Structure 1
Amino acid sequence: MEFRSQADRDYANRAFIPGADAFIPRWQAAASAFRHELKDRARLGLTYGPSERNKFDLFLPETPPEGLMVFVHGGYWLAFDRSDWSHLAAGALARGWACAMPSYTLAPTARIGEMVNELRAAVLASSALVPGKIIVTGHSAGGHLSARMGCEDGPAGVARVVPISPLADLRPLMATEMNKDLRLDEKEALAESPAYLFKTKEVSAHVWVGGNERPAFLWQARVLSEEWSCPWTVDPGRHHFDVIDGLTDSNSPLMDAIMTGV
């Protein structure tokens, strides 16, 4: 496969994952089945802001929730919706935690800084419905956004962030073809890169990444862990699409890392 630049190759995931095209319909089917199974414990389409995509789904455990886990989806800030990932709430619910999954305005309609502002509002709106501690996790671009919720300008009340395969330094993405839609410039890339921002002292963090991911994602994860002086885990054998599978299993090492210390 040909790429227009080295940066495009560095951040291409689907091209290097066997059977990649099967993952999206599989996720969507699992998410739909999960919502159907949960019935009235799935509160769908709750509003947190004025824009069309400013909505979140809230999934509740069978007993009063211990706290709230917010999961932020990925897709390079360009794709997907909260409804594609509902099944990833299963691990949190089995541990007695509620799980909120927000959508947010995608590029090119919104810039990344605007998405960060939306996620702050989503965390505050969802946490207002669930008492207890707040954990924010997310995958890929959602890993970036979840990390931003742990920065000094993040929403109040967040106790822990666990970015999964995060994009922590946005500057390399300026050289990719997708930047035509992201519209990142040097100023915004620095202002919105968690690796160049201070983590709130009250927030603990753990970075997670798959061992079989593109080298650029391993580098991004390590950079964030080093800049924040927080642990990072390289999940053996996992690539960019299956590194999130542990969210469905309450006993997985990923869920253990998410819930550590809260």
Structure 2
Amino acid sequence: MVDADLEHAYMPSIWNHQHLSPDEVLAKHFAIVAAESEKARQELTVISDIRYGTTPKNSMDLYCSGPTVKAGGVLFAYVHGGYWQALTKEDSAYFARTICKSVENSVFVAVDYVLATETVYGSEAKMKSIWEQMTPAYAALRDVADRLDCSGIFLCGHSAGAHLVTAMLSGAFEPSQRKSLFRKLKGLWLLSGVYDLVPISKTSVNDPLQLSKEEIQDCSPHNRVADIVHNLGATTSCSVKIMYGEFDPPAFHKQSQNFFEEVNNYVQTQPDYVHIRIKPPVEVKDRDHFDLVDYTVLEENYVLTDVVEVLKRHLQESQTFRFTEGVEGVETVDIKDVLVDFKVK
């Protein structure tokens, strides 16, 4: 049964500050991200449908400013939102042009996944399966980064996508597996995320999901903090940035703040994890749930500006390290050649 108060609290379209109706703001957002993603396909080199699982939706698209990349570059992966029932990777490359053109030697990857509304996949369209898709998705990202000789992996997710980025980090891996998987992970951006599914189970969002008690428990990031932190602990250095719009629903503010406190408190109990850098959530002024990511011009998008600055800083530090340490690597890598027979290790 839908709880009317929670239904209102967890519908970001109701809270928008753009003087639009809920339907209008959703239509505007979908139109913007689709148009910007199409521009990326027209202007960038694209490798489509890199598979990481058994269905066509278990795939990702890679974007780059040209057909080759130099050793030591960065991979930025984006997981779209849509409350686990809308959008696709084809709609989710709207940051690609700005990142690939602003950050030399970068690749952008849009990650797709089976949605709860895609009943053609049967039982796979459940939260547990959506959550579990993220483990092979991240393994594929790591493998792509290795093939391209990237020095760092950066992850970003918006709304339900932020929830799924944490899913990538939630596996109970052995220490040796953690080091292999996460050694190149350098940063996360969690944008207007959902980290506790209990309230979602009492809204209309749950109609296609039909969350079970087990899924609410196992697929809520705030219940997986220990695994997430231990996996982040396998990195050599990693920043975690949590952001939301000033005009996001207050419930989303609270979810982000609570998740930060839970993760930060656990990190403080682990003296060996001083390299995990997590800062208090940032409230992005004059932005709501949708225009937090809609703008693709750097001067108008706080998130993109921060991403570009972080990626550039990492590249500078990485290049300095490779030079001083005499690290050898292939000067340039042809993307299509190294990914033509791609399979997850």
TM-score for the superposition, normalised by structure 2: 0.68
Task: Quote the sequence identity (%).
Answer: 23
1:214 corresponds to 2:255? no
1:111 to 122, 126, 129: 126
Which sits farther off after the overlay, 153-162 or 136-145? 153-162
1:184 corresponds to 2:219? no
Question: May I ask how many residue pairs the two structures share in their alignment?
Answer: 258
Which sits farther off after the overlay, 125-134 or 102-111? 125-134
- After superposition, the Cα gap between the structure-2 partners of 1:225 and 1:247, relative to the gap in structure 1 and judged at 3 Å, is farther
1:162 to 176, 189, 201: 189
Task: In structure 1, list runs of 5 or more residues that go unmatched.
Answer: none
1:35 is matched with 41
Greater length-normalized contact order (CA 8 Å, ≥ 6 residues apart): 2
Asked if 2 retains the 8 angstrom alpha-carbon contact of 1:167 and 1:217, the reply is yes
Per-residue CA shift, 1:137-168, capped at 9, x if unaligned? 11000010112223354872233221110101
- After superposition, the Cα gap between the structure-2 partners of 1:205 and 1:89, relative to the gap in structure 1 and judged at 3 Å, is same
1:82 to 81, 89, 93: 89
C-alpha displacement of 1:253: 4.0
2:103 to 81, 92, 95: 95
The structure with more radius of gyration: 2
Per-residue CA shift, 1:55-98, capped at 9, x if unaligned? 11001244536221110000000111011121212343222321
Asked if 2 retains the 8 angstrom alpha-carbon contact of 1:246 and 1:253, the reply is no
Secondary structure of the structure 2 residue equivalent to 1:35? helix
Asked if 1 retains the 8 angstrom alpha-carbon contact of 2:63 and 2:96, the reply is yes
1:223 to 254, 258, 280: 258
1:149 corresponds to 2:168? yes
Higher helix fraction (1 or 2): 2
CA distance in 2 between counterparts of 1:82 and 1:129 reads: 17
Task: Report the RMSD for the aligned CA atoms in angstroms.
Answer: 2.4
Task: In structure 2, list runs of 5 or more residues that go unmatched.
Answer: 120-124, 265-277, 315-345
TM-score for the superposition, normalised by structure 1: 0.88
1:132 corresponds to 2:139? no
